[in-house]
Amino acid sequence: MKIKIAYDITVLGNYFSLFDSKIGIYRVTEELLLEMLKIDDINLFLVGLASETPATTSINCPLYIESYLREYSKNFVNSFESKFKLNFIYKNLFKVYFSKNFQKLPKYSLLSIFVRGLYKILQKSQLLLYDNNHQFFNFKEYDIFHSLFYKLPSEELTGNLPRLLMIYDLIPITAQQFVTPKLTSYFKELLKSINLQKDWITCISEYTRQEFCEYTGMSSERTFVTHLAADNKFYPVTDTSYIKTIIQQYNIPDKNYFLCLASQLDPRKNIAHLIKSFVRLLSEQPNLDVNLVLIGTQRHKRVEIINLMQKLSEFKDRIIFTGYVPDEDLSPLYSGATAFIFPSLYEGFGLPILEAMQCGTPVISSNATSLPEVAGEAAILVNPKDEDALCQAMINVLKDRNLCQNLTQKGLEKSKQFSWSKCAVKTVEIYKKILNH
């Protein structure tokens, strides 16, 4: 008999319409979902039960399924209903608002002002139009509830249903300087939603698992590790003309370059340190013909980076900010790089390392937190605060061809140890252990 899973896709509903937010947790939720749908041992029922913005979730989750998983539209179980039965109106408003044609309209056209106004009213009125009295969920129809990110719903709603929550890291608690007070506050609520004696936790690395157990006091017997993986779309690109085409598309000069996925230029990614180390390298060895390419949305203005670049204006042509790059363009950018550099101060896993390795790119990584667990001996590991070590690592990959070939081979082999299929199979094994407990 198949295990019936209430699989929470709130993340996918909340962010699928924001093209430059399809990274990190969004990607994990989606990749694992796609693999889980292939497994015969389980029946996945897609829910948005963990949402605190019910109007957005009850409409956007079905829109996500309609856009990417149309054949599974019957699998979505909506747990919210508007007091005034207005879901149909809201859904069509969302469709218009996020349509490509609407986004092309002049911002101050009458239609644009009207639709944007209605959309803002909807956002502001969610708590008035939806409340807990209009939330429904029959926990008796499922075997397990699985949240991929958001805090667990009230036990009043989930009854005696076993609940599994994925924890990515404890950054909002243990490294609060890297996040907003709002995120720290929410993460504390998330931890409070966990019943340490009854609920179950899966972590994306052994590092995160140990840190979680130490902080919360939860028994390690109720926690598991499911390592992430790079998608199959990441591969070594050998077509140099294709690489050049993509490089030109992002205004990257046709010469050696170091690459870094800087996400949202988050301070935790240690981008300022990387820039300073790179500039120091150029200053000490001005004959080096190499650039630094930083990939990441610039929707969030990072004052530290802006101020630093103003001070280093003479090197501005050697440091390229591409902005957000969709997945389909990442393989040629990884493959064309001299090395991929990931100097992060704190990671729950470090997925970009595996993506780069799977593309055959030599990797220089921070040796902090979970990163040695992921990279192993397939990368050059350096202290993320040591400029000397990072500069020397960059020089080594620039000048030692044998080192690069060795790193490429080790990286390709290391990346094969991880796959979303393995992650999905391990997750189903966890379901079975929970039910047999």
Percent over 70 (pLDDT), the chain: 91
Any idea which architecture 3-81+130-229+420-436 has in CATH? 3-Layer(aba) Sandwich (3.40)
Percent over 90 (pLDDT), the chain: 65
Q: Within its chain, how far is the Cα of 361 from the centroid?
A: 21
- Tell me the whole-structure pTM to 2 decimals: 0.87
Mean pLDDT, residues 384-389: 96
Asked whether residue 355 carries a pLDDT value surpassing 70, the answer given is: yes
Q: Domain segments of the chain: what residues?
A: 3-81+130-229+420-436, 240-415
Asked whether residue 352 carries a pLDDT value surpassing 80, the answer given is: yes
DSSP letter at 344?
Answer: -
**pLDDT class of 374 with cuts at 50, 70, 90:** very high
**Three-state DSSP class for 262?**
strand
- pLDDT of 21: 55
**pLDDT class of 126 with cuts at 50, 70, 90:** low
Tokens, residue 391: 């500069």
The answer to whether the CB of 148 falls within 8 A of the CB of 32 is yes
Asked if 3-81+130-229+420-436 and 240-415 have one fold, the answer is yes
Token look-up 């939720």 returns 29
- pLDDT of 86: 62
- Burial 171-188, CB ≥16 within 10 A → b, else e: bbbebeebbeeeebebbe
Q: Which of 93-97, 355-359, 367-371, 420-424 is least confident?
A: 93-97
Q: Which CATH number applies to 240-415?
A: 3.40.50.2000
Q: Which is higher by pLDDT, 225 or 304?
A: 225
- pLDDT of 299: 63
pLDDT tens string 127-150:
555 555 456 788 999 999 999 999
Which residue from 165, 172, 203, 205 is spatially nearest to 350, judged by alpha carbons? 205
Q: Which is higher by pLDDT, 336 or 100?
A: 336
Report which residue type is found at 324.
Answer: Y
d(CA 263, CA 269): 8
Asked whether residue 260 carries a pLDDT value surpassing 90, the answer given is: yes
Tokens, residue 134: 């209009």
DSSP letter at 23?
Answer: S
Mean pLDDT, residues 276-284: 95
Residues pairing with 363 in the sheet: 340
Tokens, residue 414: 């290391």
pLDDT tens string 293-302:
999 876 666 7
Asked whether residue 230 carries a pLDDT value surpassing 60, the answer given is: yes
Mean pLDDT, residues 33-56: 86
- pLDDT of 370: 96
The answer to whether the CB of 268 falls within 8 A of the CB of 235 is no
pLDDT tens string 182-214:
999 999 999 999 999 999 999 999 999 999 999
d(CA 421, CA 34): 9
Helix 401-415 to helix 351-358 angle (10° resolution) is: 110
Residues pairing with 76 in the sheet: 46
Q: Which is higher by pLDDT, 16 or 282?
A: 282
Tokens, residue 164: 């599994």
Q: Which of 7-16, 275-284, 423-432 is least confident?
A: 7-16
- pLDDT of 69: 87
d(CA 243, CA 356): 15
d(CA 117, CA 100): 18
Mean per-residue pLDDT of the chain: 89
Which residue from 17, 37, 35 is spatially nearest to 26, judged by alpha carbons? 17
